[in-house]
Amino acid sequence: MKHENPHHKHSHPHSEPQHAHPSGGHAAHTGHDKHAGHTPEMFRDRFFVSLLLTLPILYFSEHFQDWFGYRAAQFPGSAWVNPVLGTILYFYGGLVFLKGALRELRARTPGMMTLIALGITAAYGYSLAVSLGLPGKPFYWELATLIDVMLLGHWLEMASVQAASRALEELSKLMPTTAHRILGDRIEDIPVSALKEGDLILIRPGEQVPADGVVVEGASTMNEAFLTGESRPVPKEPGDEVIAGAVNGEGALKVRVTRTGEATTLSQILRLVQEAQASRSRFQALADRVAGWLFYIALTLGTLTFLVWLALGRDFNFALSLAVTVVVIACPHALGLAIPLVTVNATALAAKNGILVRNREAFERGREIRFVALDKTGTLTEGRFAVRAVYAHETSEEEALSLAAALEALSEHPLAQAIVEAAEGKGLPRPEVRDFQAVPGKGVEGTLGGKRYRVGRPEWAEELGLKVSEPLKRGLKEAEARGESVVALMDEARVLALLALADRIRPSAKEAIRRLKAMGITPVMITGDAEAVARTVAQELGIERYHARVLPEDKARRVRELKREGPTAFVGDGINDAPALLEADLGIAIGAGTNVAIEAADLVLVESDPLDVVRALTLARATYAKMVQNLFWATGYNAIALPLAAGVAYPWGIVLSPAVGALLMSLSTVAVAVNAMLLRRAALTAL
C-alpha cells in the first residue's frame, strides 16, 4: 500500500494502536467512550484467563451435572470452588464492565456496559447468597459464560478496527526542521522555529518551503498539489507568494518570510483538523441503544416480577429466584457479539477488496450516504500529467513530439516526464542534444541536428517575438479553455508545435460515477483546481455538480453545506482534504495520498481505485442490514423468554428455568454467528 506522497517520506508507525478517549479528538467520535484507556490486548488477556477460570466452574455447576448426568469430584472444600472462582471472575473479568457501567450511569446514558454489569451482578449476588445458605440453585456458570462472551465481543470489536488519530502528528512531520537564512553574503542554517517575519531565506531545488513568504529573487515552479489541490506546478517569480510545505521545483529562490509558525497556511489547516475533530458528534452504536432499552426493561420487569409474586402470596425465595432469572436472561450473550461479529466479517471482506476500515461506525453511517463529494487531483485523476494532444504546424506530430522529448529528457520539470513518456509510448526515436541549457521559469533549449530548439512556456515564445500560426493559436485557445498545461516547441523563428498536457483521469472513474448514480447517490466534485480544468473533468465523467477553485479551508465548508441536503461522504487524498474528511459523515481516503489524509479518514482505499468507493458503500449497506438482523436474533428471544421467566405462564405449569433460558440464549448466539458469516456471501455478490 502506498502511504506516501513523493515529497513526504517518513515512517508511518501503524503498530501502536491508539484508542478512544473521552476528551474528544478523532478517536472519540467512534463512540468508544466506553473503551477509554482500553486496548484489544487487555480484553484478550482477560478473556483467556476468564475462560480458564470458567472450565472448573462449569464442571462443578449443579445445572451441568443434572444435564449431563455426572457427579463432580467431592473433596473437602469442593463446595467452595465455584464461589471462590466466581468471585475472582466477577472482579477480574467483570471489573471493566462495572467501571463502564459507572461511567454510563454518571452520564445518564445506560448502555451495553450497564446491562452487562446488571446481569453479572444479579447472577453473582444471588449465587453468593445461595452459597451462603439461601435456598435455590446458584448461577455461577451463567456469570462465567456471560463475562467470557462479553470480553470476547469487546476484544473482537476493538481488534477489528484500531482507530488511531495521527493526523496532527503527520502534519507536523511534513515541515522541514531547518531553513537557510541569508545574512549579507553568507548563508546560515537555523531551526525553522527561529525564523522571524522579514527574514530572507534560500530555498534550493527539491526542498520544502519552511514558512510562508514572497519570492524576492529567482524563478522556479512549486508543487502545491498536496496543499491546494492545484494539479499543475505553479510558476514562481519575484512578487509571487509561496506556501509552507510546498515543494520547490528546478530553480533556487530567495524568499522574504511573511508568516511563520502558527500563522502559516499549513498551521491553519492543522487548526481546521483540530476543530473538525473536536466538533465531530459521537455516534452511539445501535447495540448500545438496544442495550440501554434492555437495561430498563430488565430492571422494570425484574422488580415487577418480584413484587407481583410477593403480592400473590408466594414466598420470598421463589419471587427472588424468578426476578433474578428475568434480569440474567435479559442480558443476552448474543447481543455482545451481534455487532462485533458482523464488524469482524465486514472488515475482513473489506480488506480482501482493498478497503481498510479505520472506524467501525463507517459501516453504520455508510448505508445512509446520499452525496459523495470527491476531490479531483489524485482521486478522480491520477495527479500525473499525460500528453492529450499535439498541435503541429509545418512539422508532423510525431516529429514535434520526438524533438520535444529529446530536450525534455534532460529537464527536471514535472511536465517533461509526461512528454518523454508519450514519445516512448509511440516508440519515437530520440535525437542527440548538444549545448543543453535550462532557463529557470521559461523552459529548456539545445541543439538537435545542427538547429537550435526551445521547449517551454508559450509566454517565452511571446517574449522572444516568435511567429505563431493561426492553427496553433486555435489549438492554444482550445487547450486553455480545457484548463490544460501547454508546452511550446520552437525553433529560432517560429513556434513549430504545441503540446497540451492534462492530468490523467483514472480509468475506472467514469464507471464509478455511473454506479454511484445507479445507487441513488449524487456525485459532487470539489477541487482547488481551475474552473476550466474542473469543467472538463466533470463533463468527461458525467458529474453535474462541481465546485472549482475551492480553498483548503473552504472544502470542509462545502461538505458542511452538502450535509444539510443529506448524509455526505468525502473522498480525498491531500493534506488539504483532512478537515473535509473529518467534517463528512463518512471520510474515505485514497490510499496513494498523503499519510495525514489517511489518518483523518474512516475508510482507506488501498488501490486508489474510485470503483472502491462504490464497493465500500455497497458493503456498508449490506453490513448495516446484517447488524439489524443480528440485533433481532440477539434480542428477539427476549420477547418470549422474559415473560416466561417472569412466570406469566406459571398458572399452566410453565416457568422458564435458567437452563432453558440458557439454551435459547445459546441458539440466538449461534444464529448471530451464522448470520454474520453469511455477510461474506451476500456482500461479495453485490460487489
Distances from the Cα of 687 to the Cα of 74, 158, 680, 684, angstroms: 58, 26, 10, 5
Nearest C-alpha neighbor of 372 from the set 568, 119, 545, 607: 568
For residue 39, the SS3 value is coil
Phi-psi region of 206 (alpha: psi -120 to 50; beta: other; left: phi over 0): left
Contacts of 555 by beta carbon, 8 Å cutoff, 6+ apart? 375, 526, 528, 570, 572, 576, 577, 579, 580
What is the rounded radius of gyration, in angstroms, for the C-alpha atoms of the chain?
Answer: 33
What distance in Å separates the CA atoms of residue 437 and residue 563, rounded to the nearest whole number? Answer: 53
- Beta strand 355-357 with 586-590: parallel, antiparallel or unpaired? unpaired
Please give the grid coordinates belonging to residue 386: 499525460
Bridge partners of residue 208, in order along the sequence: 247
Which strands, in side-by-side order, build the sheet including 247-248? 234-236, 220-223, 247-248
Q: Which of 497, 487, 519, 590 minimizes the C-alpha distance to 225? A: 590
Report which of 283, 274, 362, 270 is spatially closest to residue 25, judged by C-alpha positions. 274
Give catalytic residue positions: 375
Give the burial class of 279: count Cβ atoms within 10 A of its Cβ; 0-12 exposed, 13-18 middle, 19 or more buried. Answer: exposed
Q: In what order do the strands lie in the sheet with 545-547?
A: 355-357, 603-605, 586-590, 568-572, 371-375, 522-526, 545-547
**Per-residue b or e along 48-80, where b marks 16 or more CB atoms closer than 10 Å to that residue's CB:** eebbebbeebbbbbebeeeeeeeeeeeeeeeee
Q: What span, in angstroms and rounded, lies between the C-alpha atoms of 376 and 379?
A: 5
Cα separation of the two ends of the chain? 21
Distance between CA atoms of 687 and 684, rounded to whole angstroms?
5
For 469, phi then psi, to 5°, come to -70, 160
CA distance readout (Å), 593 to 435, 522, 549, 590, 599: 39, 23, 20, 6, 11
Q: Please give the sequence-ordered ranges of beta strands (E in DSSP) within 393-521, or none if there are none.
A: 433-439, 443-448, 451-456, 485-490, 495-505
| Longest pairwise C-alpha distance within the chain | 116
What gap in Å lies between CA 179 and CA 192, rounded to an integer? 5
Q: Are 578 and 597 in contact (CB under 8 A)?
A: yes
**Type of residue numbered 670:** V
Q: Coil, strand, or helix at residue 398?
A: helix
Q: Which three cell numbers stand for residue 119?
A: 446481569
Instruction: Provide the 8-state DSSP code for 378.
Output: I
